[in-house]
């Protein structure tokens, strides 16, 4: 006897059920409103791209490319990847569609699903959603500050409090090579105190060791030389300018000299936005402050050129939507009120059902919320449902009424009934509800 298969969502994937949809829709509404105000145009890129786009753009030594990318080979032999992030695809679109010919800066935003093969944990999924903002064609640190401000505003609009912005500069190809040598020189004698990944990173990209979350690696990192002390004049001035813009906007930021982000394409500005929560503990002391990263981004002046375009400066950032949703739930965000029906349509028999479908559409066009139970034939059952919904009126349509071109309107609190012309019932009910 064959075993019955019980299907579940794949590991790391999740359903968004009706009761959670309003949270995602609220986020999209806030994002659309903020994007429109700041002059960003919405862009949608394919869920799949050439795998080499991410290998080259995101970086061959990043965890995303080395460990997390979903790849597939087509029948024609093309190697594609489910997009693990937005930026390389948006850069590809900017180049492909000649957006450099448009008035600069070009401001684009996107939201939707991304895919990364990683260990599922709270707030992390293998299919997840992000909100992404990108600006092309502007060198000024003012655009970095604006990207930071946009995400800060989005989170504040969603009622987040206790937000902290952490910023740093990681230099560019003029000053960063010297710092990498300096950092490697510091790390090599201490590599036995590092995790296996960081020992490998010393050879491939020592900056990545600064992004490691392992506690023993963070202890080593805390004494490492700081890149900010070794910036060239241009990067130093850019960072100074950024901090002045942030001061002017009164955004609460901290300087984190070891913040590098986990992607290879960043230059100069990098930042993250955290939400701080006070959590109760079981032991003595009572409370501990927990920090949760919601947004990350920075400047990537070399990426457009790297992917085949001209030398175009750019800046951008992304926010994890599932993580935001989980915090909205913890904040006991009020559920969206369901549309309240004031009318119930009861029908008896097949002829009435057929007529009811057209009648329901007329109510929809008139913007009158109406409830029904088209699958039920018993009038008693339908009236009981109408009572439960606490509607004001029930419109009763039987076989006789259909043939006569009429409908019975029952006032639910008194039980009074009257017969109306079917062709005028929508306008009649609309008038009564208005009163």
Annotated binding site for L-histidine: 85-87, 116, 130, 134, 261, 265-266
Are 51 and 69 a contacting pair, CB within 8 Å? yes
Burial class (CB in 10 A: 0-12, 13-18, 19+), 54: buried
| Three-state secondary-structure class, residue 52 | helix
The per-residue DSSP string of 112-154 comes to EEEE-----BTTB-SEEEEEEEEEES---HHHHHHHHHHHHHH
125 closest CA partner among 326, 304, 343, 342: 326
| Cβ-Cβ contacts under 8 Å for 13 (sequence gap 6 or more) | 125, 126, 127
CB 395 within 8 A of CB 352: no
Structure tokens at 122: 């709270």
Q: Which residues are annotated as a binding site?
A: 85-87, 116, 130, 134, 261, 265-266
Q: How many CA atoms lie within 13 A of 273 on its CB side?
A: 27
Token output for 130 = 């992000």
DSSP 413-425: TT--EEEEEGGGH
Region class of 221: left (phi > 0), else alpha (psi between -120 and 50), else beta: alpha
Q: How far is CA 153 from CA 87, 125, 157, 357, in A?
A: 21, 25, 6, 45
Q: 134, 316 in Cβ contact below 8 A?
A: yes
| Rounded CA separation 226/181 (Å) | 12
Per the CB < 8 A criterion, the answer to whether 208 and 262 are in contact is yes
**Coil/strand/helix, residue 384:** helix
Angle between helices 350-365 and 425-434 (to 10 degrees): 50
Listed residue (118, 109, 108) closest to 84, CA to CA: 118
In angstroms, what CA-CA distances link 231 with 209, 226, 255, 298, 312?
19, 10, 15, 16, 21
């Amino acid at each position: 006897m064959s075993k019955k298969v019980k299907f579940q969502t794949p590991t790391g994937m999740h359903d968004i059920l009706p009761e959670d949809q309003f949270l995602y829709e609220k986020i999209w509404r806030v994002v659309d409103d903020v994007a429109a105000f700041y002059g960003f145009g919405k862009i949608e890129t394919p869920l799949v791209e050439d795998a080499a786009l991410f290998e080259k753009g995101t970086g061959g030594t990043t965890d995303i490319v080395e460990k997390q990318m979903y790849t597939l080979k087509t029948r024609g032999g093309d190697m594609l990847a489910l997009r693990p992030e937005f930026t390389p695809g948006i850069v590809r679109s900017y180049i492909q569609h000649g957006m450099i010919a448009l008035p600069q800066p070009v401001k684009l935003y996107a939201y939707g699903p991304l895919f990364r093969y990683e260990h599922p944990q709270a707030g992390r999924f293998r299919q997840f959603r992000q909100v992404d903002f990108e600006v092309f064609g502007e060198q000024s640190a003012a655009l970095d500050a604006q990207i930071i401000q946009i995400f800060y505003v989005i989170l504040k609009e969603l009622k987040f409090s206790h937000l902290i912005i952490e910023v740093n500069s990681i230099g560019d190809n003029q000053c960063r090579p010297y710092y990498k040598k300096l950092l490697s020189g510091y790390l090599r004698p201490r590599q036995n105190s590092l995790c296996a990944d960081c020992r490998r990173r010393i050879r491939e990209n020592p900056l990545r060791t600064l992004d490691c979350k392992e506690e023993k690696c963070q202890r080593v990192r805390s004494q490492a030389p700081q890149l900010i002390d070794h910036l060239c004049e241009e990067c130093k001035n850019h960072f100074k300018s950024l901090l002045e813009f942030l001061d002017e906007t009164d955004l609460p930021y901290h300087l984190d000299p070891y913040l590098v982000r986990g992607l290879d394409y960043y230059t100069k500005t990098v930042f993250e936005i955290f939400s701080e929560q006070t959590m109760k503990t079981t032991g003595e002391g009572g409370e501990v402050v927990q920090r949760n990263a919601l947004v990350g981004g920075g400047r990537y002046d070399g990426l457009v050129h790297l992917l085949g375009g001209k030398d175009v400066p750019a800046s951008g950032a992304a926010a994890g939507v599932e993580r935001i949703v989980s915090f909205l739930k913890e904040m006991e965000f009020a559920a969206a009120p369901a549309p309240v029906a004031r009318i119930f349509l009861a029908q008896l028999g097949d002829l009435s059902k057929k007529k009811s479908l057209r009648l329901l559409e007329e109510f929809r066009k008139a913007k009158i919320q109406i409830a029904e139970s088209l699958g039920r034939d018993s009038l008693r059952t339908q009236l009981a449902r109408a009572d439960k919904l606490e509607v004001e009126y029930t419109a009763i349509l039987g076989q006789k009424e259909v043939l006569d071109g009429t409908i019975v309107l029952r006032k639910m609190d008194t039980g009074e009934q009257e017969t109306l012309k079917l062709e005028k019932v929508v306008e009649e009910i609309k008038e009564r509800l208005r009163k």
